[in-house]
């Protein structure tokens, strides 16, 4: 049976048909019978995306059951992190599992045991590899007189990378190596659990997810964010915004953008900007026939995606400096956090105020979005109006 991929959905006007075909395909591959309801089809679609992104181009040795998991896991781990946005599809699946866990509690444990650990560790590995490669670039570009202390910092960053790679390999060995049937045990477990639930009707699915989106947007207006802290402030705020954006794109065909309505006039120009219109979080599927779409102002939603991107850049600056500072501390080159931060900034060729500037800008962006323009409040009210 031919695989059904997300790229095909973009080109086919019938999202309903392609979701149904995708569900039948992945269920048949796992020997599961039965028809999937709409909410189940959304999950099965992203399960299928993860399945094909990992296995369609996997080296043959990964399917060799005669090889010990300890030999296959390192190869699979690097294959996963180098494959086409496996983490992006995992995040969409995780979004749906987190939401529907409110209706089906068993899905929470399933997500925390099988899906979230892999998604998390891919992100951790990518961050550690990024920090290490940047330090190597500083060493190799000749713009800095390399010292023994610098070598100690680079070695420490190498240890961070090796540690996250070991965690990735352990998770892969537990649940993400092909079994004798060519299936991934983690995905088999999710499929069996999702199909074992007595699901909602399509209209109740629509109402349920509209309420969840409204609640997540409302949370952005009420949750306190300490923008003086990279992780608890900038990173947490960006993640909360990203979860809302992921909710919109994780349910194929559910959301439609209204290009004519601009509740906040200052954001109108975003709907005319090809760059923002083409953003990965702004790519929705053709609307479903099964239920009326949730309709949201395009410019309002694009403002959310822009804030995610801006905060992402500020987060990267903060994590880059703090990650390097931690390496200075752990390697013993610096004895205190303040001196480690100063050394990290100098090592990276950044201005001494770069970290403070990023934190200050994040504070201003949050105040503008949440207080001056009430972006998240507008989104919360817009989703709330779609609940029926």
For residue 349, give the 3-state DSSP assignment.
Answer: coil
- Which of 195, 212, 229 is the last residue before a domain boundary? 195
**Domain membership of residue 232 as a residue range:** 202-384
Establish if 30 belongs to a structural domain.
no
| Residues 188 and 88 occupy one common structural domain | yes
| Residues 182 and 316 occupy one common structural domain | no
| Segment 123-134 mean pLDDT | 95
**How many CB atoms sit inside 10 A of residue 108's CB?**
15
| Residues 187 and 212 occupy one common structural domain | no
- Which of 195, 226, 261 is the last residue before a domain boundary? 195
**How many CB atoms sit inside 10 A of residue 367's CB?**
12
Structure tokens at 348: 């990276």
Whether the CB-CB separation of 380 and 217 falls below 8 Å is answered with: yes
For residue 294, give the 3-state DSSP assignment.
Answer: strand
- The total domain count for the chain is 2
Tell me how far CA of residue 292 lies from CA of 10, 253, 302, in angstroms: 19, 9, 22
Strand partners, 294: 255
- Which of 156, 179, 195 is the last residue before a domain boundary? 195
pLDDT (0 to 100) of residue 10: 44
Tell me how far CA of residue 330 lies from CA of 203, 223, 322, 324, in angstroms: 54, 33, 12, 10
Establish if 45 belongs to a structural domain.
no
| Residues 191 and 214 occupy one common structural domain | no
Measuring CA to CA, which residue among 76, 170, 51 is closest to residue 121?
170
**Angle at the Cα of 277 from the Cα atoms of 371 and 286, rounded to 5 degrees:** 110
| Residues 237 and 361 occupy one common structural domain | yes
| Residues 152 and 101 occupy one common structural domain | yes
Measuring CA to CA, which residue among 24, 388, 26 is closest to residue 208?
388
More confident residue, 5 or 34: 34
Establish if 351 belongs to a structural domain.
yes
Percentage with pLDDT > 90 across the chain: 89
| Segment 336-342 mean pLDDT | 95
For the segment 190-212, what is each residue's pLDDT rounded down to a tens digit? 999 999 999 999 999 999 999 99
| Residues 265 and 121 occupy one common structural domain | no
pLDDT (0 to 100) of residue 13: 52
For the segment 261-283, what is each residue's pLDDT rounded down to a tens digit? 999 999 999 999 999 999 999 99
| Residues 185 and 330 occupy one common structural domain | no
Establish if 129 belongs to a structural domain.
yes
């Amino acid at each position: 049976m031919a695989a059904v991929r997300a790229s095909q959905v973009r080109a086919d006007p019938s999202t309903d048909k392609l979701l149904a075909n995708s569900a039948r395909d992945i269920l048949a591959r796992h020997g599961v019978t039965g028809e999937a309801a709409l909410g189940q089809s959304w999950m099965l679609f992203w399960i299928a995306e993860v399945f094909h992104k990992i296995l369609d181009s996997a080296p043959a040795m990964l399917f060799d059951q005669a090889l010990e998991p300890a030999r296959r896991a390192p190869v699979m781990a690097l294959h996963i992190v180098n494959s086409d946005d496996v983490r992006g599809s995992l995040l969409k699946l995780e979004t749906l599992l987190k939401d529907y866990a409110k209706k089906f509690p068993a899905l929470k444990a399933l997500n925390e045991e099988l899906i979230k650990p892999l998604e998390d560790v891919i992100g951790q590995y990518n961050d550690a590899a990024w920090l290490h490669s940047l330090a190597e670039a500083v060493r190799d570009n000749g713009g800095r007189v390399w010292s023994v202390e610098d070598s100690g910092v680079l070695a420490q960053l190498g240890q961070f990378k090796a540690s996250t790679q070991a965690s990735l390999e352990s998770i892969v060995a537990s649940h993400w190596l092909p079994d004798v049937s060519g299936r991934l045990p983690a995905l088999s477990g999710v499929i069996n659990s999702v199909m074992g639930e007595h699901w909602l009707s399509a209209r109740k699915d629509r109402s349920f997810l509209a309420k969840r989106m409204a609640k997540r947007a409302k949370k952005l207006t009420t949750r306190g964010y300490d923008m003086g802290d990279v992780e608890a402030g900038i990173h947490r705020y960006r993640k909360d915004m990203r979860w809302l954006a992921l909710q919109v794109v994780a349910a194929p065909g559910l959301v439609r953008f209204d290009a004519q309505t601009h509740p906040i006039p200052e954001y109108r120009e975003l709907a005319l900007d090809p760059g923002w219109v083409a953003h990965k979080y702004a790519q929705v599927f053709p609307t479903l026939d099964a239920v009326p779409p949730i309709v949201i102002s395009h410019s309002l939603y694009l403002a959310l995606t822009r804030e995610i991107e801006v905060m992402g850049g500020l987060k990267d600056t903060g994590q880059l400096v703090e990650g390097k500072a931690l390496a200075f501390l752990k390697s013993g080159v610096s004895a205190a956090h303040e001196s480690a931060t100063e050394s990290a900034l100098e090592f990276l060729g950044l201005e001494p105020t770069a970290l403070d500037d990023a934190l200050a800008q994040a504070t201003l962006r949050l105040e503008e979005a949440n207080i001056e323009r009430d972006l998240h409040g507008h989104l919360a009210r817009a989703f709330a109006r779609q609940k029926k």
